[in-house]
Structure 1
Amino acid sequence: MFPALRRCLRVHLLGSSAMLAGLGGGVAHAQTASVASPTPASTTARTLTTTAPETVSVYGQGSTRQLTSVSAKTIQAAAPGTNPLKVLAQLPGVNFQSADPFGAYEWSARLYIRGFAQTQLGFTLDDIPLGDQAFNNYNGLSVTRAITSDNVARANVSQGSGGLAIASTSNLGGAVQFYSADPTDKYGGTLEQTFGSNDTYRTFIRLQSGILNPTGTKFYVSYAHTDLDKWKGAGYNESDQVNLKLVQPIGGVSSLKLFFDWSALKQFDYQDESLDYLQTLGGRVDNYYPDYTAAYHAAQGIYTHGETRSHDPLDVSYYAGTAKRQDFLSGLTFDTLLTNSLDWKSTIYGHGDNGYSTWTTPYTPSPNGAPLSIRTMQPAITRYGLLSALSWDIGRHTIESGIWYEYDQFTESRYFSEAPLLGQGTLGDPNDHTPDHPFAVPWAEVWNTNTVQYHLQDTWRVLPSLTLNAGFRSLVIHTGNEATAQDPAYNGGAQIGTGALTASNGFLPQFSANWRFARHQEFFADVSHNMRGYPEDGYSTNSSNTPWSANETAFKQIQSSIKPETDWVYEGGYRLTTKPFIGLLSLYHVDFSNRLQTISFGPVINPTTAVQNVGGVTTNGVELSGTFYPVRHLSIYNSISYNRSTFDNDIATSSGVDNLRGKSIPNYPTLMYKGSIAYQIGRLDAHIDGNYYSHRYLSYLNDTSVPGYFIASLGARYVLGEHGPLSRITLQLNAYNLFNTRYVATTGENGDPISGDYQSFLMGAPRQFFGSVGVTF
């Protein structure tokens, strides 16, 4: 970042935080406030000032990569508590899948960008790595647990490839960078109450200290409590979260910022479905909870809910699945101008996570004679790290160099506990207490990972109209695991895989350019080479493409030959930025090598999984987006994107060779359309959004799929002026799935089969309504 802009930001930090908060917002869907100073085109997008309401209209003007900045008001236009990743689904090439209307149910939350799954993208908060956002996250936590959505200032989305400085071991494709809001200069607070469908009840309160002393110290603390029922079946989604941020200016050219997050959640699972279950039992089939008698009888082969109409009645007969998590996350950032041309920024952070998830299985009986038992997975994370970077402005060049180090210890265990005999008790709410007195521990493992990344890049402003960027990063991820417990009697007679793997590459280059060849018009291009580290998860799990899911024999066979996933990403495009119209045409091509895929079969509760190198994947895509401001107060946004991602190779399995070559990757739609109309006048703003997604394949051989669908949402907000001690009163209404579309939301959460049907998708929520009342003082 240019020193001139750094100094500008210091002035704002000392005297105008409220103004910065205002610039972070807009009415509907993306930031359009202008930036006061030029910034390096490789990392930051300039924006266009307009009096019209905001919609998805910022396409990274001046950037050498495809970059979109989404504002706080964009995120807050959704129902309070909505997963910020869901808000990003309005962007070109982005697909978010979730079984609940908030995107808060973590097992079902999936983000795809240009064919890359979220485990192949990068995520950070205030530069702190959040890992790959997987449910069994081994190196981070979901953004909903890292920060309350009300405290997000903005999100920068790189659809093609993330920047070299991003602290991520998984960003083969794009990256999402979240930034927390700073405290305001003025003392005050916010109280917001949300209610709606499924007995939704959410309370949010934030207190601002204002400037406390002549040095400019200020902070805020917030608390959010969310409680809602599932939209089908019994069970709930409950969470509590505390955020604190403190800002201490130092000498006018430096700042110290502390961010702290504590979160705790308890969730009940929705029933995973298959095409067979959907056709025979319908989209509202769900787990038995709290009917323990029905689950007990089903485990004995006595079905009471019509399960025998399906081909596999036992695999749809579960009492409950739950998840419970607690996280602590903190980061301290020091940012200073060492000289007029040299800036230094460093962050230290730490993260701790613990919890468990349960599933009541009829496939493993209890020793006391009960035909079912409780299977518990107990993960935990302890990690800490350091990021430090220098930015040197010299002539027409901005040179940036930095390092990232992280140590991460991830532990996970699986054990079985007894279920009571019928008439001698029930399982009750599994979230009430950790299941104890296990009768079997199939495995317990610990992973230790050291990650080191170095990056160097130069942004060269060759001409006022031409900017070039070139650089590279070096990345080394060394991971080793050991088994602390295992029981072959519950591992299919096999020992679990243990050993070390290293993913490393000393030269991962990136080259990009921006040419403003005419007023309001520019071309951009970017080429990058990327690598992903090996994901971690326990033996015979099916939630990530991890080599450690194999048994000891299979792991030793692949240990010396397995290669990390890598790719080359090429993108180029054209931007037009005028007051009446903002447009983007982007084309991209990806050559993906050594793609690891989880191939699953057998019952979902105890699947047989195999992680295979399926070779290469070739991706070609195009995105066309435009925002039109026909009259004052009105904006109309439309985008269409096409993506064709196909496997390059056939694969050999135990049953022979499967003709995978030319088949499309599962779970991602080939065609997507997004549209939005936003209107703002005075204190009222409203928007209606519509998204269309084409069919998605469920199997690698593309012989099963779910149909495409169109879904719409509606939002409106009205702001009242001062009323006594209140500076503002806000009334908000949101409607989700406005036309009550019946559709399949998440696919592939349990892995994907080579061919045919598999219990690995979740239905989307029906029409939902939410209302909010907020006061600011």
Structure 2
Amino acid sequence: MRITFRQLLVSCVTMASLVSVSANAQDNKAAPASSKGSSTTKASATSRHSNSSSPGPSVLGQFTPSVEEISVTTHSLSATGVTNRTPGGGLMPHQTAPRSQSGVTRDFIAKQSPSSNITSLVADLPGVTVSSQDPYGMTGDHIQMRGLNETQIGYLFEGAPLADPINYAPYTSTLVDTENLGAVTVSQGSPDLNAPFYNAVGGQITASALNPSRKAGGFIDVAGGTHSFNKEFLRLETGNIGNSGIRGFVSFSHTSYNNGARGPGGLFRYHVDSKFVKEWGDGNSISAMFSYNRQQATSWRSPTMAQWKQYGVGFAYSPTFSPGNASYYKLNQQNLNQQLVVVPMHFTLSDHLHLQVTPYYVHQFGPSLGGENIPASGGYYGTQQYGNLDRGTVVNGNILTSSRDPWNQKTGGLNTSADWNISRSNTFSFGWWYAYTTHEELSDFTPVNANGVGLSGGVIRLNGKILSGYDLNFMQQVNTLFIADTQKLLNDKLTLSAGFRVAMVSRQGTNLIPGADPYKMQGNYFEPLPQFSASYQITKQDQIYINGTTSFRAPESVEAYSQIFDPNSAHAVMQPQSLKPEYSISEEIGYRHQDKLYNFAMSLFNINITNHQVTSTGYIPGTNMMVASPINIGGQTSRGVQAEFGLARWHHFSPYVSGQFLHSTFDNDFNTGSGLLPTAGKIAVGAPKFTAAVGLNYDDGHFFGNFDLRYVDSQYTTFMNDQKMPSYITSNIALGYRMNSYGRIKHPQIQLNLTNLGDNHYLSGSSYTSNAKAHLTSTGATANASAPVYYVGGVFAAMVSLSTGF
């Protein structure tokens, strides 16, 4: 466990300082605010249940939680949307779902770095482990819950599934600016029955944007910090447009920073959000959310354990160019571009019938760039050898090129559901989801100039055809149907729900590279998914529940179906596997207490997975291009307990504690192709035994602060448990001062965010391999060693932001 005395000392001193400073501020405050949210600091003129764009209530009694602060008005405690109504400083909102469920509200979100993405904001919740790579929380969505990662978790934004529908990467930094994010809810273990997913064996993350204000105005936020960080954000609110009942907002932001201690290069991002809402009658509403994202960043270089011990955080791409240097940082870039439209609609057709309809469209595209030396002659286009290229500068028989992957993906979908209240105590629900996806991916190579300042001519062609390692055209169709019934008994204290969903996924595609076998690939999956839950309201404050759920995940990534070639190899460097869909059966029993003083929740869980697919991310041999390869490890069993506690505001303080114990093991020996490795009973990869978080929030209306400390236990990174990632501890702090309003200037404030106090250098996540040391298989053959590569955690960063409403 690599936790130094310095890191512990810095964290403890920081917490003590926050308490001391906050207490002093309390003694000297000029305009006190109610510690429990009195009428002088009410959240909004709208109802607490007025998030018209949130998904409708799901069946099985799993309701999307009402958000205490979903639209910012001039009556709020701050222009950022803070109301101080949520226990735990915004980390423990009221929940009613008969399953493990946690969340964050504006009380917490507004006090985090304005660069944070959805994934980084839920890192304090029980059982959630976030693998940060940059200190500002903008790149990477690597997350683990109960031994499962982000590709096994469903992401829902404004009622639509907006993660990549093929490799399941969520890319949450492309969805919404933090200033426009209303709330995030995490369901550990199981998704809603009517949620539009076919990968959520590990749970669900639901996010929603702020609703537009009913009054015209806006919000501005500017920030600067270490590593040349800067962000400029502006939101303009229309208010109610005449008597139309329509209101909306449009926002724009620019963000950039350099990588600092992590090497040369950096990131820039341009982002636009727009949301308009129309509400009428009893529960009728139409929302329209549009988002555009343009983002480019230098790729993070992932070390092996040996490279980490040698170079530490300095393991990076080369800052200077030399002929043949494929590791030059300007050749290794990631572009994340996205356009999305979501239109959630809710209709009250009668007193007994409610309809939810959510059409959506999302366009995601690259390119990803990596430097690579390819043979000047005698290389390969698929399995065909080529002659002289007569292009570029030849160094040691190779030509340095920019290897480009201009992936292009478009998805359109429609999710519908209806709730029929047969009687006061019985509700029947049914629905249908359809989605269509196209994916194109044609890699190419362009020679780099001798001085490294640019590219030489166009892409390399052979007899008119683009030299490529893969030429993929992929299509996917999804249909799911569900029915469910919810019955309330014993004066509505007992709620019983049962439902059944059937998911149908059809995939097909081609690889046009010469020698590709198979040339055409396809996969068809049909999965029945029953669910059941029961909850009992012992008192108004106490609830117990039990549930049994099933989920499945279709194989991840195009690479699961198609070969990958490279000019340096006469045969495919990555071979597809015959993968079966992953299927999970999970059970939970839990208890929660919620009152005016504190909230407490605890649950016991068990998850059994068959055909468990572990994603191994690695570099194509001899290149800087990383690809994800799914591996079927067989069965996996995960059992544990999680708990969280949040105190309502007491003398302006609100603490929070969460933790989880997890025991996750492989059920089968691993087939290497040449024999079995004895992995049955080994601890599963990416499954830390203990995780915990402590938070302390202070807010007296003017002075405010937030401190959190996170601990993640060590975790194995190979199936044979012969290499593991050390445990680590990180802590963050926010301090600020909020002023009174001055005319049209609403609650201007200054905020300081410090991340990774003590500058802890640590590994935050990894890819996975079968064995890091050579082992004999059941047939006596040798399974050669294969080293995992690791994500390096973000270093220390400081940021100051100035914001105000108007």
- TM > 0.5 fold call: yes
1:446 to 445, 470, 473: 473
Q: Deviations over 1:349-378 (max 9, x none)?
A: 111222201111246668441443222111
Tell me what 1:337 maps to: 348
Contact residue 762 and residue 793 of structure 2 kept, 8 A: yes
Contact residue 131 and residue 141 of structure 1 kept, 8 A: yes
Tell me what 1:355 maps to: 366
Contact residue 434 and residue 479 of structure 2 kept, 8 A: yes
SS in 2 for 1:227: strand
Tell me what 1:768 maps to: 797
1:502 aligns with 2:524: yes
Tell me what 1:656 maps to: 675
1:184 to 207, 210, 213: 213
Tell me what 2:452 maps to: 426
Q: Which amino acid aligns with 1:277?
A: Q
Q: How does 1:419-568 map to 2 (within 5 A)?
A: 419-421=448-450, 425-428=451-454, 436-437=459-460, 440-463=467-490, 464-483=492-511, 485-487=512-514, 495=517, 498-505=520-527, 507-518=528-539, 520-538=541-559, 546-549=560-563, 562-568=579-585
- CA distance 1:599–1:728, shift in 2 (3 Å): closer
Tell me what 1:585 maps to: 602
Once residues 328 and 609 of structure 1 are traced to their aligned partners in structure 2, the CA distance between those partners, rounded to angstroms, is 24
Once residues 272 and 240 of structure 2 are traced to their aligned partners in structure 1, the CA distance between those partners, rounded to angstroms, is 21
Once residues 654 and 802 of structure 2 are traced to their aligned partners in structure 1, the CA distance between those partners, rounded to angstroms, is 26
Q: State the 1:17 CA deviation.
A: 9.6
Name the stretch that deviates more: 494-503 or 403-412: 494-503
Work out which structure has the larger RCO, using CA pairs closer than 8 Å and 6 or more positions apart in sequence. 2
Name the stretch that deviates more: 324-333 or 249-258: 249-258
Identity of aligned residues (%): 22
SS in 2 for 1:441: coil
- CA distance 1:481–1:703, shift in 2 (3 Å): same
1:43 to 38, 54, 63: 63
Q: State the 1:98 CA deviation.
A: 1.9
Tell me what 2:284 maps to: 254
Q: State the 1:553 CA deviation.
A: 11
Q: State the 1:72 CA deviation.
A: 2.6
Q: State the 1:317 CA deviation.
A: 7.9
Contact residue 442 and residue 472 of structure 2 kept, 8 A: yes
SS in 2 for 1:90: coil
1:575 aligns with 2:609: no
Contact residue 92 and residue 625 of structure 1 kept, 8 A: yes
Tell me what 1:6 maps to: none
1:213 aligns with 2:232: no
TM-score (norm 2): 0.81
Tell me what 1:30 maps to: none
SS in 1 for 2:314: coil
Q: How does 1:369-380 map to 2 (within 5 A)?
A: 369-370=394-395, 371=398, 372-380=400-408
Q: Deviations over 1:422-443 (max 9, x none)?
A: xxx3145x9xx99744562122
1:680 to 682, 686, 699: 699
- CA distance 1:111–1:450, shift in 2 (3 Å): same
Tell me what 1:82 maps to: 116
Contact residue 131 and residue 168 of structure 1 kept, 8 A: no
Once residues 686 and 98 of structure 1 are traced to their aligned partners in structure 2, the CA distance between those partners, rounded to angstroms, is 22
Q: Which amino acid aligns with 1:410?
A: H
Q: Deviations over 1:125-177 (max 9, x none)?
A: 111111258xxx65785222122222111112111201111111210121011
TM-score (norm 1): 0.84
Q: How does 1:28-427 map to 2 (within 5 A)?
A: 41-45=61-65, 54-55=88-89, 58=92, 61-106=95-140, 109-131=141-163, 142-231=171-260, 232-251=262-281, 253-289=283-319, 291-293=320-322, 296=323, 320-362=331-373, 367=389, 368=392, 369-370=394-395, 371=398, 372-393=400-421, 394-421=423-450, 425-427=451-453
Structure 2 unmatched runs, 5+: 1-41, 52-56, 69-82, 378-388, 566-570, 774-785
Q: State the 1:451 CA deviation.
A: 0.3
Contact residue 355 and residue 378 of structure 1 kept, 8 A: yes
Q: Which amino acid aligns with 2:135?
A: P
Q: Deviations over 1:468-513 (max 9, x none)?
A: 1111211101000112x3145xxxxx645631101211x3011111
Q: State the 1:761 CA deviation.
A: 0.9
- CA distance 1:558–1:89, shift in 2 (3 Å): closer
Once residues 21 and 734 of structure 1 are traced to their aligned partners in structure 2, the CA distance between those partners, rounded to angstroms, is 32
Structure 1 unmatched runs, 5+: 1-15, 26-36, 300-315, 489-493, 539-545
1:635 aligns with 2:654: yes
Q: State the 1:727 CA deviation.
A: 1.8
Once residues 40 and 535 of structure 1 are traced to their aligned partners in structure 2, the CA distance between those partners, rounded to angstroms, is 28
Once residues 38 and 448 of structure 1 are traced to their aligned partners in structure 2, the CA distance between those partners, rounded to angstroms, is 29
Tell me what 2:34 maps to: none
Q: State the 1:687 CA deviation.
A: 1.3
Contact residue 155 and residue 170 of structure 2 kept, 8 A: no
Q: How many matched pairs?
A: 703
Q: State the 1:537 CA deviation.
A: 2.2
Q: Give the aligned CA root-mean-square deviation in angstroms.
A: 3.1
- CA distance 1:550–1:325, shift in 2 (3 Å): closer
- CA distance 1:646–1:344, shift in 2 (3 Å): same
Q: State the 1:76 CA deviation.
A: 2.1
Q: Deviations over 1:231-277 (max 9, x none)?
A: 32111111111111111234555222111111111110122111111
